[in-house]
Amino acid sequence: MTTDSAAQSFLEYQATGQVVSAPGRVNLIGEHIDYHGLAVLPMAMGQAVRVAFRTRSDRQIRVSSSGFGVREFAWTRELAPAASGDWENYVRAAAQAIGRKWGAGRGIDAAVASDLPPAAGLSSSSALLVALALCLLRANGLEASFEELMDILPDGEQFVGTRGGGMDHAAILASRPGCASLVAFDPLSARPIPIPHDWTFLVLHSLEMAEKSGALRNEYNARRWAGTGALQRLGFHSYRQALDGRAEEELSALAQQLDPGMERDSFLHVTGEAQRVLAAVAALEQANATGFGQLLNQSHASLRDKLRVSCPALDRLVEAATESGALGARLTGAGFGGCAVAFCMQADLAKVRRSLVDGYYAGRTDFDENRHVIPVTPGPGALFARQ
């Protein structure tokens, strides 16, 4: 299907059916720790995946997307994966998540439109999964609570071979306008944390792709297993137990019991990042911009040096952002490419943006300022957006 054909289908389904919008998310701080059950601090973006659909009378699911073609299959309770790396797996993941809980029902004809860059660390794939799941629910007259959706959607990502946590889905579903979300697990909660009105964020694309469902899948998963292995060797059953009442110095001493390498470094990153999340919440509540920016810088250093998920392009971009006047910057998302998030005061936004365009991005023929330097306003999640 051509781009024009997919766009035409979107307009057709929009006119005769319904549209579901699921925002991307930018994680302000708390990277590679949600899958260890630790709290994180994302916010929803204004940019989103939008799916226009109409309900069918049979169980066929047919979805088209500009640039990615058409995928069609029969909806059954248990579905086999499509080819590794194929975007159809996100469609199948949504159908299987809904089907396992409520049974396979009526299918949909759907068309996807998005202003989220793919493979950028902004959860475009999770937004697609959420949007498609909500479409299937609506097509079958079903309603689901935040808790019910969070019970089934994170496992859907594993359909494509990655083992993540629930941060992306929680932020995409439950964010509130003007707020970051302190997403905690066991028990699940998403507490809105207001962002001071004179603070602002830029999402900056490194121009390096970070395709988590492709070649880097094993690298992503290895970080999770290293963190879990460190816990087991130290005799803890969870990172909450390891963190309980322990200062940074005690945690560093514990880490010395591990052999040098990924397990030790993962333990240090996870415990340090968990403490930074709580400090960032306090900085937001106190409107401490300098302190918040320093925490972002510390987070990036840990992701670069301990977890080793950065890349030269992201490191240069983060450095360029702070040199341009940002108070802090860090990679956001799984890493290995994709985006950084930079924090600055609203009054400095134009200066920071222009400095980056004229500096880091100068001479790049693949650079598009509107797509790669994105001012971000904290928006509503899919459960609170006007559809």
pLDDT at residue 1, rounded to an integer: 47
What count of residues does the chain have? 387
Mean pLDDT by 10-residue block, N- to C-terminus, for the chain (387 residues)?
A: 70 87 96 96 95 97 92 95 90 95 97 86 90 98 96 78 77 96 94 98 92 71 94 97 96 97 98 99 99 99 98 98 99 93 98 98 95 94 81
Domain boundaries, the chain: 3-193, 199-376
Phi, psi of 205 (to 5 degrees): -85, 130
> What CATH superfamily is the domain 199-376?
GHMP kinase, C-terminal domain (3.30.70.890)
Question: In one letter, which amino acid is 118?
Answer: P
Say which CATH class 3-193 falls into: alpha beta
Q: What contacts 206, CB < 8 A, 6 or more positions away? A: 311, 313, 314, 317, 337, 338, 339, 340
Cα–Cα distance, 71 to 88 (Å, whole number): 6
Distance of CA 108 to the CA centre of its chain: 26
Cα–Cα distance, 239 to 215 (Å, whole number): 29
Q: Is 266 left (phi over 0), alpha (psi -120 to 50) or beta?
A: alpha
Q: Does residue 187 have a cis peptide bond before it, meaning omega lies within 30 degrees of 0?
A: yes
Dihedral over Cα of 339, 334, 279, 150: its sign:
positive
pLDDT at residue 213, rounded to an integer: 60
State the pairing for strand pair 60-65/108-114: parallel
Measured CA angle at 11 (ends 68, 45), to 5 deg: 65
Catalytic residue positions, numbered:
168
pLDDT at residue 385, rounded to an integer: 73
pLDDT at residue 48, rounded to an integer: 94
With beta carbons less than 8 A apart as the criterion, state whether 193 and 285 touch.
yes
pLDDT at residue 154, rounded to an integer: 82
What's the whole-model pTM score?
A: 0.89
Task: List residues bridging with 133 in a β-sheet.
Answer: none
Q: Tokens in use for 184?
A: 């905690």
With beta carbons less than 8 A apart as the criterion, state whether 169 and 126 touch.
yes
